[in-house]
Amino acid sequence: MPALPPSAWRDPGLAARLTASITAHASAPMKLMEVCGTHTVAIARFGLRDVMPENVTLLSGPGCPVCVTANRDIDLAIEIGRQPGVVLTTFGDMMKVPGSYSSLAREKADGRDIRVVYSPLDAMGIAESEPGSQVVFLGVGFETTAPTVAAAIRTAARTRLKNFTALALHKTVPLALEALVNDPQVAIDGFLLPGHVSTIIGPEPYRFLASRYAVPGVIAGFEPIDVLQGIDMLVKQVSSGRAEIEIAYGRGVSPDGNPTARALMAEVFEASDSDWRGIGVIPGTGLTLREEYAEWDAARRFDVSPPEPREIPGCQCGDVLRGVTLPFECRLFGTGCTPEHPIGPCMVSSEGSCAAYYRYTDYGRQ
């Protein structure tokens, strides 16, 4: 598709032509999973599931970093925040996410010093202005946000800002998709790959999906035409028996990604095992601070022992994140669990599948 002016990315006529192409090329039933939470919101907001042919099913995957953060990691953050002199800083969407027994919002209400920041640099500013406090930044996110946290940690190390640490709970996407491909309950035929993550890593880390598993993927942007174009390209691959990793989001993603950001991540972090809600521990999908930055690792500085984690009774967020259960199939959806009174993380985050279904589909208005 040639370059389009900004207004064209929501053009109804172009959307209709892409939808017709999807219908024409969808020769057999297929399940396509959008990995990114922003894709999930766009698909729900613009009603794109409603215009798919009956044999094309769009599933939402583990693309919301807040949602896939395991209870044991949230419990660890809460326990660190309870330590004397600690100021725990976090992005706002983590505040209401429930852990096993509490949440950051509840801890703040109980008097813990927990503050919402917009970047790790804000947390560093608090550490500089309050030298008597131990300021901890809760680092949650995928490859998109990890470079900014890495930059903050490197800066803190170079300036010897000793009352600043980070609790690194970042996750990396590609190997999580391998876990889904090998999940017999899911049976995914193709992936709509995340645009934001791919601006950093490029297409190369996904190639094994096509070469090893014959599962195609298309990196897509976030406007309605972006998403429809990505689905159209994916449907054509599946129907023709091809399996490649293609870029539909050329204005945002280059074949090389962002080498500078990746180098920064590699300098500060090393791969580790990570616990994904609903999927379990996936080797090599976490990011842990390297030994030379251990002094700025909150997990090492604070010797705490959170209680044994437990899951929220009745919440099926884990199954939703795997694409096994649709949000409205959870018995808590829209009754006990709403965006105003969320029970599970898939309803807490604005990028969560349950929140998107509730806000933008008829299921949330029943």
Angle at 185 between CA 277 and CA 56, to 5 degrees: 105
Phi, psi of 207 (to 5 degrees): -60, -30
Q: How far apart are CA 324 and CA 327, in angstroms?
A: 10
The amino acid at residue 278 is G
Please give the model's pTM, rounded to 2 decimal places: 0.91
Domain extents in the chain: 6-62+188-247, 66-172+257-301, 318-360
Q: How far apart are CA 289 and CA 295, in angstroms?
A: 9
Q: How far apart are CA 238 and CA 145, in angstroms?
A: 32
Classified by CATH at the fold level, domain 6-62+188-247 comes out as Rossmann fold (3.40.50)
Residue 136 is predicted with a pLDDT of 98
Which H or E run contains 134?
strand 134-139
Residue 274 burial (10 A CB sphere; 0-12, 13-18, 19+): buried
Q: Sign of the C-alpha dihedral, residues 78, 117, 220, 272? A: negative
Is residue 322 within 8 Å of 62, Cβ to Cβ?
Answer: yes
Phi, psi of 149 (to 5 degrees): -70, -40
Output the CA–CA distances (angstroms, integers) from residue 353 to 3, 183, 364, in the order listed. Answer: 30, 19, 12
Question: pLDDT tens for residues 115-141?
Answer: 999 999 999 999 999 999 999 999 999
Q: At what angle do helices 37-45 and 353-360 cross, to 10 degrees?
A: 10
Domain 66-172+257-301: give its CATH code: 3.40.50.11740
Taking only the tens of pLDDT, the chain with its 366 residues reads 556 666 677 888 999 999 999 999 998 999 999 999 999 999 999 999 999 999 999 999 998 999 999 999 999 999 999 999 999 999 988 998 989 999 999 999 999 999 999 999 999 999 999 999 999 999 999 999 999 999 999 999 999 999 999 999 999 999 999 999 999 888 999 999 999 999 999 999 999 999 999 999 999 999 999 999 999 999 999 999 999 999 999 999 999 999 999 999 999 999 999 999 989 999 999 999 999 999 999 999 999 999 999 988 889 999 999 999 999 999 999 988 998 888 889 999 888 999 999 999 876 555
Token output for 110? 């109980």
Matching fold, domains 6-62+188-247 and 66-172+257-301: yes
